[in-house]
């Protein structure tokens, strides 16, 4: 299968590198507004590259691995064949944005936080597919199943719910780590001191589930400790509000 990518960011990079290892796949072209990034990724997968959206080569599958907000803008710029498979990788965008572009379309959504510089083990990485028809689904599964054992067929609505869940689980968790890191730095503490606690927290999540793994003053209803924490955060208005809101949520679910 000849595959081209629109995009050269984190998702495009990791998907292209992974698909390039499949013998039946040829990464043919990287199309990106960032000419240097397109060239860099193309060199890694031995593909052509361009920043000119009017110069897209022939392909069997085009993967639009760009930000959710960029999809409509890019679709307005390109003319694509209506008999080839066109997919995007966005969690919050319906597959039907591609309906008027091609009669064969879908979404390939890897549920993972991806970075260009960190190697990815795709073996058990969940990848979710939404497709326009059974034949498109079959062709995509033939490829994706060579990447991962965890392939799932879901609807646009399910993928959107999954995306919202992922923001809470991943992005918001990471933001809380940033708060922890800043508090440590401001008090001459090494943030790495929290590493064993963080590791244990996520290990317990996997074994017990989040509801049963919850501990801490809010879970215990220890209002005196919570008030001391709020007093400590007196000069950090945003963090204080977050502390109170999350504590309220924990107590409402306890």
Residue-wise pLDDT for 4-22, tens only, equals 999 999 999 999 999 999 9
Does pLDDT of 179 surpass 90? yes
- Cα separations in angstroms, 11 against 20, 24, 178: 14, 21, 23
- What was the pLDDT predicted at 254? 76
Q: What is the pLDDT of residue 132?
A: 97
**CA separation for the pair 90, 75 (Å, rounded):** 14
Distance in angstroms (rounded) separating the CA atoms of residues 20 and 26: 6
CB atoms < 10 A from the CB of 224, how many?
Answer: 8
33-55 per-position pLDDT tens digit: 999 999 999 999 999 999 999 89
- Average of pLDDT values for 225-230? 96
The pLDDT of residue 82 is: 86
CB 77 within 8 A of CB 66: no
């Amino acid at each position: 299968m000849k595959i081209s990518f629109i995009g050269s960011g984190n998702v495009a990079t990791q998907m292209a590198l992974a698909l390039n290892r499949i013998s039946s796949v040829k990464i043919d072209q990287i199309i990106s507004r960032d000419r240097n990034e397109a060239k860099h990724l193309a060199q890694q997968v031995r593909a052509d590259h361009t920043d000119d959206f009017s110069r897209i080569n022939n392909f069997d599958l085009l993967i639009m691995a760009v930000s959710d907000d960029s999809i409509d803008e890019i679709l307005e710029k390109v003319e694509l064949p209506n008999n080839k498979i066109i997919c995007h990788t966005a969690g919050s965008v319906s597959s039907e944005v591609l309906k008027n572009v091609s009669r064969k379309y879908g979404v390939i959504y890897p549920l993972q936080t991806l970075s260009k510089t960190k190697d990815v083990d795709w073996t058990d990485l969940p990848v979710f597919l939404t497709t326009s028809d059974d034949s498109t689904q079959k062709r995509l599964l033939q490829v994706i199943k060579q990447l991962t054992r965890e392939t799932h067929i879901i609807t646009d609505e399910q993928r959107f719910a999954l995306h919202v869940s992922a923001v809470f689980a991943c992005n918001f968790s990471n933001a809380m780590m940033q708060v922890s890191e800043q508090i440590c730095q401001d008090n001459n503490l090494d943030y790495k001191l929290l590493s064993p606690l963080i590791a244990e927290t996520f290990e317990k999540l996997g074994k017990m589930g989040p509801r049963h793994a919850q501990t801490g003053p809010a879970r215990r209803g220890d209002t005196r400790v919570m008030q001391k924490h709020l007093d400590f955060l007196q000069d950090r208005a945003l963090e204080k509000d977050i502390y109170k809101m999350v504590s309220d949520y924990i107590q409402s679910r306890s």
